[in-house]
Structure 1
């Protein structure tokens, strides 16, 4: 029987720079944003679409161009105002407006218009069929029109109001986010009184907090040996899932040195990626072959250009590109040394050692990769602007909601095109992939995208982590199993704390 009261404490690895749905790309942002907001349709822990603000799945016209949603009545925002179709219309049109330069704008490329004929009906009209409609459009969190329009997106980032089970009490980006139960939540008040996320960059400190009972969950992986130890301890409910986000080094494709495809290919051959997996991540990862994870099933293909560890091949490609070994062991071309900066996330214990190993592999073939640190918000702003050479983090290039679309990251005009990658054929394929509804034909499109990514190497694709997600035994109401550990988080309105379980 659910028990009322208590607070759930989660741990994040980096600052939560914004509480806006449009900035919810990083997992640590998303787990908080999803407590505050709801969408018409949300994907459950097994990637199945479930109606939330909508009463049921929408009616879809035969031509696949019109989706009609019926909304729940009497749903309240945290300020007491009623949620209606006007809020859906406002939210979607905000993303559709190019003046807003929304990160998720590409998700709405096929949306022609949004109608609100009455307070509880929304009609979404598409210009062409969209195979990813549920995963990318209908799952967009709704903001209140009356409030967002008044204060604007920048102010909203720190003062969000949604329909979610929890509302914001206090937010300090680099320290914590404190949420409290929303008494009038439309599905009923949550069992928990509070949901708190503390920012603890050091993975080892997060592990200690879990073991001592100071926290219930870490939304970002620990170091692998701690993950394995906690899994076997009997103190936790642990979900092990396959990551859909590629662990990668985005490279600025407009950089004078890194703009040469042969150079990028050489860097791939210079790396013993399987050794990195075995030595840094205790083998708990799968080697990446391009932008999509093997967990994507039929959308994935292994039939791509391969990059086994081959430093001689790397050296030959660098020579071909005009980079000859200098007296100090660093290659030179036209009087310039082959040197660039990789900016890693401040305090990133899990990935900093990976960057250092890659640094040593590159040095062996005459490439000088310097390592610097910066906050994640700085990196996510400066990489797509072409103002950094390279970085290291995990990101989804197709896989959000188990859908292979990568328009927000691989399209030439995408706001999250971290590597400044421009490829006309990829742009064509991304557009085709959204309008193709036949699964086999659609898979072939994404296979070709992977083949181009593997050939062009816009970024150094390293691996897909095995994700270990631990919940303290005192947390009850969790699902039996999950394909997506991230998508367990929207279920917090159902959880409860039972101290006898810990």
Structure 2
């Protein structure tokens, strides 16, 4: 790995931003970005899929975002909010002069309507709605959020780019189904041809922040005329496209192709550590609604073998149980005893015998667009069948998976992954309404105490109790930690490696 790639890898580990490579920044040109497939929607409120967030973060913006150190930074808000001494009132000043793609000016009326839509239809909004008493416009450029109880994750939830609290015109926000994709972002929707491309074009009247760029925060320059997101569902086709230099950026490449890409026409980009693969359990109905059955799955899976099959070398993964690596403040080993890198087949069989499992097929929902998902599903199938389960792999397109997982009648386990998020309460299973539908008194007690605590050090301590409940009630199975690989053209500059790649501030070197 050359020094440039080592620097990028280290920057991701540290959560820092990188300076742009020293070339003259130039306006113009179009880039092609290969993605893992066609997004199920372009409404980021209604989806937690990374693919949706990657594309739509260029079109829509939130009140806050994350800077290069994963701290909350203002975006459409003028500054961080004023928070009352009791932690119940957030007064948010809005930036003046922000314009929507339709030419109208953003005001507090739009923000209130947008936040009300988010609280009504987004999974993370529904999670937040439980503590929100009101959202009100104080004047044209001031919004006030009133809570029923202190809620520490609020600003992080308002910052994320999926299930996102985007700001859209009030007349659009009144509808649960979005038909017009009008935001405030640096790029706007030009043309969408399903299964061919999504074309975004420069929004000439974009109002950028004036601060230096840092992570997703700060100034957003629009050097590129167009960004075309091209769905390439087959992983091998993405690899070949990267090697041939067919695309300017290729997302989600199997890590075993790293050396091959390095010898081709684009440069590999390593994101380390990137995140964690996870098997989400359907706790609402079906065979996984029984806790003992979930514990049998937990005991029967062999994380190391699954990761080895998926990533090929320990250079790219670590079979570790804590929900966060030891480089994160949230790292704790509380409650991880049930995690066994090699699995425990004897315990799995014993738990299965005690459970309510009736021999019905365990339907594992997965996709080959993320090839490592499918590979882990195959290994899981073998181990679970050895433990006594009947297993059925349902392999579908990623867009289909994100639709099916919303119906508890259609699956028992689905496979996904997540970057290591800066706030644990952003994790999907923390929401009672997120697919999996994990609801319990123990969860609410531990998570409620964690979310209500404002002191950062105390929150770190309270996170341990939340992790203990996750391992005790098994709403999901964390497989381990993994690195991710992408590919980037050598003449695409101004890019910082990021879990959700963004192309404002990027430009084509002359």
Tell me whether the two structures share a fold, i.e. TM-score over 0.5.
Answer: yes
Does residue 321 in structure 1 map to residue 355 in structure 2?
A: yes
Does residue 131 in structure 1 map to residue 176 in structure 2?
A: no
Distance 1:347 1:407 in 2: 22
Superposed structure 1 runs of 4+ greater than 6 Å apart: none
Distance 2:426 2:207 in 1: 33
Q: Which residue of 2 aligns with 1:4?
A: 27
Distance 2:447 2:235 in 1: 36
Does residue 410 in structure 1 map to residue 430 in structure 2?
A: yes
Q: Which residue of 1 aligns with 2:499?
A: 485
Q: Which residue of 2 aligns with 1:327?
A: none
Q: Which residue of 1 aligns with 2:476?
A: 459
Q: Which residue of 1 aligns with 2:45?
A: 22
Alignment deviations for residues 24-49 of structure 1 (CA, whole Å, 9 cap, x no partner):
41111101110001122211343122
Deviation at 1:123, TM superposition (A): 2.5
Alignment deviations for residues 218-238 of structure 1 (CA, whole Å, 9 cap, x no partner):
33x211111354357694262
2:130 to 91, 94, 109: 109
SS of aligned partner of 1:298: coil
TM-score of the superposed pair, with normalisation by structure 2 = 0.84
Retained in 2: the 8 A contact 1:107–1:407? no
Deviation at 1:449, TM superposition (A): 1.7
Does residue 160 in structure 1 map to residue 181 in structure 2?
A: yes
Size of the aligned set, in residue pairs, is: 467
Distance 1:153 1:472 in 2: 39
Q: How does 1:242-391 map to 2 (within 5 A)?
A: 242-244=273-275, 246-282=276-312, 283=314, 284-289=316-321, 292-294=323-325, 297-304=328-335, 305-308=337-340, 309-321=343-355, 336-345=358-367, 347-391=369-413
Deviation at 1:94, TM superposition (A): 1.9
Q: Which residue of 1 aligns with 2:95?
A: 72
1:33 to 27, 35, 56: 56
Deviation at 1:288, TM superposition (A): 4.7
Deviation at 1:477, TM superposition (A): 1.3
Q: Which residue of 1 aligns with 2:238?
A: 206
Q: How does 1:218-233 map to 2 (within 5 A)?
A: 218-219=250-251, 221-230=252-261
2:267 to 236, 249, 266: 236
SS of aligned partner of 1:55: coil
Q: Which ranges of structure 2 fall in alignment gaps of 5 or more residues?
A: 1-23, 209-219
Retained in 2: the 8 A contact 1:270–1:311? yes
Does residue 497 in structure 1 map to residue 508 in structure 2?
A: yes
Deviation at 1:185, TM superposition (A): 0.8
Retained in 2: the 8 A contact 1:296–1:404? no
Deviation at 1:174, TM superposition (A): 3.5
Does residue 449 in structure 1 map to residue 466 in structure 2?
A: yes
Q: Which ranges of structure 1 fall in alignment gaps of 5 or more residues?
A: 324-335
Q: Which residue of 1 aligns with 2:12?
A: none
Deviation at 1:348, TM superposition (A): 4.3
TM-score of the superposed pair, with normalisation by structure 1 = 0.85
Retained in 2: the 8 A contact 1:87–1:144? yes
Retained in 2: the 8 A contact 1:407–1:430? no
Retained in 2: the 8 A contact 1:271–1:358? yes
Change (3 A) 1:281 1:53: same
Distance 2:284 2:90 in 1: 40
Retained in 1: the 8 A contact 2:124–2:157? no
Change (3 A) 1:458 1:41: closer
